[in-house]
Structure 1
Amino acid sequence: MHRHGAQPLDATSARFALWAPDARSVSVEVEQQPAVRLQPQEGGWHSGVAPCQTGERYHFCIDDALRVADPASRYQPEGVQGPSELVDTSAYPWRHAWQGRPWHEAVIQELHVGLLDGYSGVCKVLPRLAGLGISAIELMPLGQFSGERNWGYDGVLPFAPQHSYGTPQALCELVDEAHGQGLMVLVDVVYNHFGPDGNSLPRYASPFFRNDRQTPWGAAIDFRRAEVREYFIQNALMWLCDYRCDGLRLDAVHAIDQPDFLVELARRVRAAVEPGRQVWLVLENEHNQATLLEQGFDAQWNDDGHNALHVLLTGETEGYYTDYRERPIDKLARCLAQGFVFQGQADRHGTPRGQPSGHLPPSAFVLFLQNHDQIGNRALGERLSRLCPPAALKAATGLLLLAPMIPLLFMGDDDGCRKPFLFFTDFHDNLADAVREGRRGEFAHFDAFAAPDKREQIPDPNAAATFETSRPQHKDVLAGWHGLYQHLLDLRQRQVIPQLPGTRALGAEAIGDKALTARWRLGDGSELRIDLNLGEHPQSVALPALTRRLYDSSDSAHPDSVLAAHSCVVSRLPPEQEPS
């Protein structure tokens, strides 16, 4: 199988390969040099060698008429419509010999590189994150998108790190510096669709897509084809091997209708990574396919856990929160005890969803109170710091950071940031109008935005002010929140993480409409117990007598038989003191 794109061969030449089954001819045009015709190969490939030095720019020319960027371009310094640049990441002088960290040590913070002023801006926050107790950063998608600002999920050239964030070398420097701070680097990758502006593949490689299946983003990608699979597998290997990232988070794999592709990707990644190096693969998957977590994938974002917590904290039950409206505390207890809430039960559409997950370890599930989706897909981008009482959020944070699942934070969480995180793009003309009106139309069925004048208040995604408003700031924050996170992450580091290998759930049960008790047997035989009350009134609970109390979020003393309103109590019961 050909390698997509351009690879330097020596100081003066490179090999070029383009899968263009609809093209009669393909040439490569390197700046200020005569075009070189690529040779047609079996299966729709065109390949050949042409004079080209690292740093020089080139286009592919289809049928002597259509000039396009390399779909596997490694850098687009002039944007999606500009020429591609030949890049050689192997020349970067890595400073840190890094083999990764065990997955159970992961405490992840999701970051948007653009809002932090590019790769160099992210480098500036690394010491603070490491000092707080974060052990991994997860970068929202980096693939080249149209314009200067975007969430990243509208990327069209997934091999090219976004030019407005910095150069490929600057990305290497970021990864290198993170490793020097002891931080893992995960990258969010989008393999289920391309963005609406700048994707030329349909014009010369229409078999890349299916004409018999549509998705919310257009024609589905055809993962039945070996060339298509290879395109995305080579992309995964680029992030992990060329840029030495520590893992990938695969966006919305429920939109990929060939699960065997995912299994193949995981197998290829494991085979390519050198012995001794630790690399992690994480899924976002509404289908809750537990079997994928036994076939090469380490964990899945647990939307079920978030959704149940959100309903308990805010009382909101519109949209997808409808599935968690009835007894959300029972659903949260099921999540803590078994992983997924939906393990084959019918959702609000009457469709069975999910597979049994109780046999999987807690580390197979990434738990979060919010992320880019859950904040930014709100009409006004409000964070939980504006949606629920601080005491309730403090209690839920205790659960998040001390439960055995892998915790995920969103940028600003650790400061109690109250600034919104909005949906933003940088489209123009008709596409900008369509995105703005489509965004507002999404909320027409929500009570708060049923009236047209209310929908007009939803920020325009394309306005520069929408992007600027989304920058986290250290001024508009909840008092004491940074200290809270520092305390809880120190407890996690000392009291929870060392015992996580071998942990198994002992069960969880509701003890009221908004309270529960959850228990786990840790790897050293001790028991971790979390009693959580997200309600406004105290709740009676039978706390064990012989207990080491690790954390109590309530501000006032109370009897051991009472769980204060909006509180979280975390206890450890040593093996020798277990009740019979």
Structure 2
Amino acid sequence: MKHAHPSPFGATVLPSPGGVHFALWAPTAPQVVLEHGPTPHPMLRNEEGWHHLTLPEAAPGDPYRFRLPDGLRIPDPASRYNPDDVHGPSVVIDPRQYDWQHDTWRGRPWEEAVIYELHVGCFTPEGTFSAAAKRLQDLASLGITAIELMPLADFPGQRNWGYDGVLQFAPDASYGTPDDLKALIDTAHGLGLMVLIDVVYNHFGPEGNYLHAACPPFFNPAHQTPWGAAIHYDGAQARTVRDFFVHNALYWVEEFRFDGLRMDAIHAIRDDSPTHIAVEVCHALRDGPGRERHVHVVLENDANQASLLARDAQGRPAAATAQWNDDLHHAVHVLATGETDGYYIDYTDDPVAQFGRALAQGFIYQGQPSPFRAGEARGEDASRLPLGAFVSYLQTHDQVGNRAFGERIHAIGDIALVRAAWACLLLSPHVPMLFMGDEFEASTPFLYFCDFGPELSRAVSEGRRAEFGRFKAFADEAARARIPDPNAASTFEASKLRWDEWDDPLHAAWRVQVGEMLALRQRRLAPLLAGQRGAGRFETTRDGLLRVEWTLADTTRGEDGARLHLLAHFGEGPVEGIGAPPGEVLYATAVDRDGSQNGLLRAARGGVFVTLQEPGLA
């Protein structure tokens, strides 16, 4: 079947007898000229500031751009494809040309989600959609059920994390064509994999954003974000601005058949409207036509607003499905590495207990004062949320790439504790997420990289080195000079996964262990997670022993009360005489029966012991 999202923005290919309709919202421009072929075409302006024109001779594949009254020539802000980068012309795309092979795909319920975050450019040596599609079978066989693509919106240059995108509807051409992206998603669906896309609705990148020239009301200079003027979501002309992003969300889900979105840093969005734009996007995705398939929205929200994750009486999300859980990551990072700089200071008070709280309750900060934020209260009560509302991880692109040398946690932390934390997470009711390479403890770093023009590139390189200058390790200039230049192609190349490590004995043993845990999760835990409600319980001892208990539910048999028990040892081991949790043993590593005491356990450092207690059993 064919899939196309009807949108008032951009270029729309018309049905027979053909032609293309072009539309640009530029309310401050008295005249806009469409450049298509050798002849300029003045567009018609209406009272709302829309400029329209239909060209019967235009066709898919044609380049075009808009010329503003001052002579500036710009790409279409709603371009579906910009093969010559963000400063070049846009190309007319007919989305109906792709023939989907797995059109019966209806997604997967959220309780089955095991997410794998990847950067298309660094996931394979080729760094393309087509190359990534060829590796998906490996992920599906491992037990991954969803891939999350870092942002794809067209960015300046040939390499970028994606958070500097300026053409929200155009997949970056360095990865391939729009049809190549559709083929990647189609392949994933054929393997049973959901595909999420990371979208950035809080800012545009610093280079190539022509909306400032075409449509100044799109931004509100009275409000600044860390990346520039805030998007004007609540101004006099906010409806059109909001529609731009609502249509963008619908476009990815309807036209590309993504299974949902990850919305970047919504805490940085300035929106005083009665309905926050993030909530409006969630409602549009949930209530739109053809939603017989599963569509999920994951938030990044430093404010820990549990209210945005609330469930209705039937247990369905009222707005977002889940949120990235930095709290759990930060606690594990302190526990495994001992680092306490910056925001990690909030997690230094008994990190084992902090990790236990995160496993049991989701958020650690649910209204308590944050020392890092000078005592400011952070977060909301999350006690009524299912633990599936939390996407939890030991690292992400942020937590690796924001380090000066991009080291992964298994390279800098106590490996026994890192692996124990992975076992605790993968066999918990949280939705676990791996960052690409976690599954085989990749040796490659993930560095911050970009490809800006000369003036901006210098500012970024100097700014990054100056930022690290406040840390003791980079106090002298020679130390700062060793920090990789974000604009150097070598920095990007160093961040690519080495797939020969997948089968290398030094790496494969951990991959096999991860696969075994994920198989156990899907076979025994996933059927019990749909009905899970509310927080669990945890306790710690002074010797670093952690116990967590969660109540699950078997909705397929109408039963509730199944209990999942976790015992993990994060102290200096070994510890003996440990009371075993009740139930069937699902998983045990570095924990065994204490031969000297009947029924008790002995745990080595990093030991993990998981049991499942069926309803009605002591």
Same fold (TM over 0.5): yes
Aligned partner of 1:527 in structure 2 is 563
Q: Secondary structure at the match of 2:514?
A: helix
Q: 2:80 aligns with which of 74, 82, 88?
A: 74
Give the structure 2 partner of residue 564 of structure 1. Answer: 604
Q: Which amino acid aligns with 1:185?
A: V
1:132-160 Cα distance to aligned partner (Å, 9 max, x none): 11000000000000001111111111100
Q: CA–CA distance in 2 between the matches of 1:222 and 1:513? A: 53
Distance 1:534 1:39 in 2: 68
Of the candidates 274, 295, 298, which is equivalent to residue 321 of structure 2? 298
Q: Residues of 2 paired with 1:84 and 1:203: CA distance?
A: 17
- Deviation, structure 1 residue 367: 0.6
Counterpart check, 1:355 vs 2:380: yes
Aligned residues: 577
Give the equivalent residue in structure 2 for 1:500. Answer: 529
1:405 to 430, 443, 449: 430
- Give the Cα separation in 1 of the matches to 2:219 and 2:231: 4
The answer for the alignment partner of 1:455 in structure 2 is 480
Give the TM-score normalised by structure 1.
0.96
What SS does the aligned partner of 1:480 have? helix
Instruction: Go from structure 1 to structure 2 and tell me whether the alpha carbon gap of 1:73 and 1:514 turns closer, same or farther (over 3 Å shift).
Output: farther
Match of 2:108 among 98, 101, 106: 101
Q: Take 1:541 and 1:337, find their aligned partners in 2: how far apart are those partners?
A: 24
Unaligned 5+ segments in structure 1 are none
Contact preservation (8 Å) 1:512, 1:539: no
Aligned-partner Cα distance in 2 for 1:463–1:26: 38
Q: Find the aligned partners of 1:239 and 1:373 in 2 and give their Cα distance.
A: 23
In the alignment, what sits opposite 2:217? 207
Deviates more, 1:500-509 or 1:216-225: 500-509
1:74-223 aligned within 5 A? 74-96=80-102, 97-115=104-122, 116=124, 117-223=127-233
Mapped partners of 1:479, 1:178: distance in 2: 23
User: In structure 2, what is the Cα distance between the partners aligned to 1:373 and 1:128?
Assistant: 24
Instruction: Please name the residue that 1:40 is paired with.
Output: 45
- What CA distance in whole angstroms lies between the structure 2 residues aligned with 1:265 and 1:59? 28
Deviation of 1:479 (Å): 5.2
Instruction: Tell which deviates more after alignment, 143-152 or 343-352.
Output: 343-352
RMSD of Structure 2 on Structure 1 (CA): 1.7
How does the TM-score come out when normalised to structure 2? 0.90
1:248 aligns with 2:261: yes
Residues 28 and 59 in structure 1, CA contact (< 8 A), matched pair in contact too: yes
The equivalent position to 1:234 in structure 2, one of 228, 247, 270, is: 247
Q: Is the 8 A contact 1:558 1:564 kept in 2?
A: no
Using the aligned pairs only, state the percent identity: 47
User: Does the CA contact (< 8 Å) of 1:398 and 1:553 recur in 2?
Assistant: no
Task: Report the AA paired with residue 536 of structure 2.
Answer: L
Deviation at 1:489, TM superposition (A): 0.7
Q: CA deviation at 1:574?
A: 2.0
TM-aligned CA deviation for residue 513 of structure 1: 6.1
1:537 shift after superposition: 2.2
Among residues 11, 34, 47, which one is paired with 1:6 in the alignment? Answer: 11
The C-alpha deviation readout for 1:100-128, integer Å capped at 9, x for no partner, is 11011000101111112210111111111
Deviation (angstroms), 1:526: 1.8
Cα shift at 1:371: 0.8
Counterparts of 1:576 and 1:290 in 2: how far apart (Å)? 32
Task: Give the deviation of 1:262 after TM superposition.
Answer: 1.4
Q: 1:64: Cα distance to partner?
A: 6.0
Structure 2 regions of 5+ residues with no counterpart?
1-5, 311-317, 555-560
In the TM superposition, residue 161 of structure 1 has moved relative to its aligned partner by 0.2
Cα offset, 1:541, TM superposition? 7.0
Match 1:390 to one of 415, 424, 432: 415
Provide the rounded CA distance (Å) in 2 between the counterparts of 1:434 and 1:345.
Answer: 38
Alignment check: 8 A CA contact 1:110 1:409 kept: yes
SS in 1 for 2:611: strand
1:539, 1:450 → 2: CA distance?
Answer: 41
Deviates more, 1:269-278 or 1:81-90: 269-278
With 448-457 and 354-363 compared, the bigger mean Cα shift is at 448-457
Judge conservation of contact 1:338–1:359 (CA < 8 Å) in 2. no
Q: How far is the alpha carbon of 1:553 from its aligned partner?
A: 2.3
The residue aligned with 1:491 is 520
Give the secondary structure class of the aligned counterpart of 1:317.
coil
Cross-structure match for 1:323: 346
